[in-house]
Chains A and B, each alone.
Chain A
Amino acid sequence: MNLSKEELQFIDTYLKNSDVIYTDIRLELTDHVASAIEVELAENSDEIFYKVFKSYMVQNKKSLLKNIEVEQVKLRDKIIKRFGKGFLAKEVLFLLVLALLTPSLLELNFSEDILMGVNLGIGVIVLLYYFIFFHKTKKTSIGAALMFIILIPIYIPFYIKNPISLLFLIPVMVIVTLLHKKIEKKISKMLSRGLMVFFIGLFSPLFIWFTKWSEQFVTENILEGYFFFQLIIWYVLFKTLMTYKKELDSKYKGVFS
């Protein structure tokens, strides 16, 4: 006996209210629950949907919803890793060498306004690309996890005046993220977030001091090298987005239209 649209909607809404927020995960669990209920209803024709649903959830809810959050974190890490691996592609390594050499070989003299303008322009294009091409699938776990890499380059323009300050920020961010990962399972979410805010608060004055102190070492070559490096980051980002767009298109062909 097949479940009606209303009954399927009921399962879907129940899962949504149980924090299964991503469409792709929910559609799979809805089908799983619906299949189990259909079998039960076929075997016991006297039973009604709501009773079977309730009894199924009492027995299986914990197992059904287990690991969803862990999986989302794994997926986010995988996407960030793929983005990082993008820098090891042959053409990117070539561009990196070019980024290091060009400022010392050519007199480019970009003004700060041009650098900022180009970055903001590309930033807007990336965001538009994401919202136009992923808007159907942004509610999937992949679509949501991609937001993390979209956000990384948004911070690029902040360091246009002094890219050297990143030498302080990047290792600190890496250490804080690794520490956070190590302790987040052992302590409550609230405490884990509180510690993150504490660390950021602790390092902020040091970061401001380092930024001011290192300004004396910033040269034209460093600024131009950083500009090329930004373009490389945008290139890798677009490449990663296109890979996932292709993946989502083939997986959910016609599903989200």
Chain B
Amino acid sequence: MSNSKLYKGSLATIILKLLSQQDKMYGYEITQKVKGLTKGELNITEGALYPALHKLEAEGVLEVEVVRVDNRLRKYYKLTEKGKIETVSKLAELEEYIKNMQVLFNPKFGLE
């Protein structure tokens, strides 16, 4: 992830959120989706994305499907049942984090 170290801790949650909106995605597609949604603000590098995907796969949060597309093999990732539960809790955790950050950095907003 090139922009900021702040995003690093949220990479897994970003991946899970995207996969909860789409049945299955492949690596390059995830990087482009994030780039598109953030209007080029957030660039996930290959060196950060694939280890994160492989870690989630090893934890049983994601499952893999390899299919032949345009003369080559493509590895798709999708959420497992465990992954769907994990997504809900990770998103709640991130929302809580954002809320706390807002309270800390915008005290007025927090008091209202």
Contact = CB atoms under 8 A, between A and B. Distances in A.
A161 B72 CA distance: 53
A61 to B, nearest CB: 10
A89 to B, nearest CB: 18
A27 interface: yes
B75 interface: yes
A27 B73 CA distance: 6
B72 A28 contact: no
A27 B65 CA distance: 13
B37 interface: no
Given A66-B47, A71-B54, A252 B28 contact: no
Contacts, number: 67
A3 interface: yes
A27 B69 CA distance: 12
Interface string B46-63: 111011001000100000
B66 A255 contact: yes
Interface residues of A, number: 31
Contacts of B64: 251
Chain A contact residues: over half helix, strand or loop, or mixed? Answer: helix
Interface string A87-111: 0000000000000000000000000
Contact of B47 (A3, A4, A67): A67
Contacts of A66: 46-47
B32 to A, nearest CB: 8
A32 B72 contact: no
Contacts of B65: 251
A31 B50 contact: no
Given A27-B66, A251-B64, A251-B66, A2 B71 contact: yes
A179 B51 CA distance: 25
Contacts of B75: 24, 27-28, 31
Interface string A40-78: 000000000000000000001011111100110001001
Contacts of B74: 31
Nearest to B75: A28
A9 to B, nearest CB: 9
A31 B68 CA distance: 10
Nearest to A66: B47
A31 B28 contact: yes
Contacts of A28: 27, 50, 75
Interface of B: 26-29, 32, 45-48, 50-51, 54, 58, 64-66, 68-75
22 contacts: A3-B71, A8-B71, A8-B72, A24-B75, A27-B66, A28-B50, A28-B75, A29-B50, A31-B72, A31-B74, A31-B75, A32-B27, A32-B28, A34-B72, A63-B45, A63-B48, A64-B47, A71-B54, A251-B64, A251-B65, A255-B68, A255-B73
Interface of A: 2-5, 8, 24, 27-32, 34-36, 39, 60, 62-67, 70-71, 75, 78, 251-253, 255
